[in-house]
Amino acid sequence: MSDYTILRAGDAPDFSGDGTPGAFLGYGRPLDSEQIAVNMRVLEPGQPHVPPGEDPSWGHGHRTIEEIYLVLDGELRVKLGDEVETLGQYDAVLIPPGTPRGARNETDSDVRLLMISRRVEDQAAESAPVEGFWPS
């Protein structure tokens, strides 16, 4: 018998919060992954990638982990440090530790963004918020 776990799309928990448009679906923890963190963010038109209730200019970095953003569908604007880039379908960016980042959907269509990193126990301690990172 093989040892694997399947998480059906409808069973992935949504961490986006009440009233937040789009979705922030978690896959790594529900699958009991010990090493990999995998999340998918669905950003509706005009929506920034910020925690529920945060200012749209919010950005963040990670203290010790690198992260890959992979655009599954749509077009995403990302700010990495002082530079702004546009990522299209299947484009990816490797973001090293300490690099502040922000992302937003500036189009009229949904964006699906996969975020991949090493799993950490304390996500809050790993994340370093940057207020006013990307003013509108």
pLDDT 10s digits, 77-133: 999 999 999 999 999 999 999 999 999 999 999 999 999 999 999 988 999 999 999
Residue scoring higher pLDDT (18 or 28): 28
How far is Cα of residue 24 from the mean position of the Cα atoms in its chain? 8
Give the pLDDT band of residue 51 (cuts 50, 70, 90).
confident
Q: What are the residue boundaries of the structural domains of the chain, listed by start?
A: 24-130
How far is Cα of residue 89 from the mean position of the Cα atoms in its chain? 15
Q: Let me know if domain 24-130 sits in CATH 3.40.50.300.
A: no
* Main-chain dihedrals φ then ψ at residue 124, nearest 5 degrees: -65, -40
Tokens describing residue 100: 């502040």
DSSP annotation of 58 reads -
Instruction: Write down the H helix ranges in the chain.
Output: 123-126
Quick check: 52 pLDDT over 90? no
Quick check: 1 pLDDT over 70? no
Q: Are 25 and 13 in contact (CB under 8 A)?
A: yes
pTM: 0.93
Average the pLDDT over 25-50 and give the result.
Answer: 95
CA nearest to 40, candidates 60, 61, 14: 14
Q: Give the CA count within 13 Å in the CB-facing half-sphere of 19.
A: 3
Residue 70: partners with Cβ closer than 8 Å, 6 or more residues away: 90, 91, 92, 113, 114, 115, 116
CA nearest to 103, candidates 64, 65, 126, 130: 130
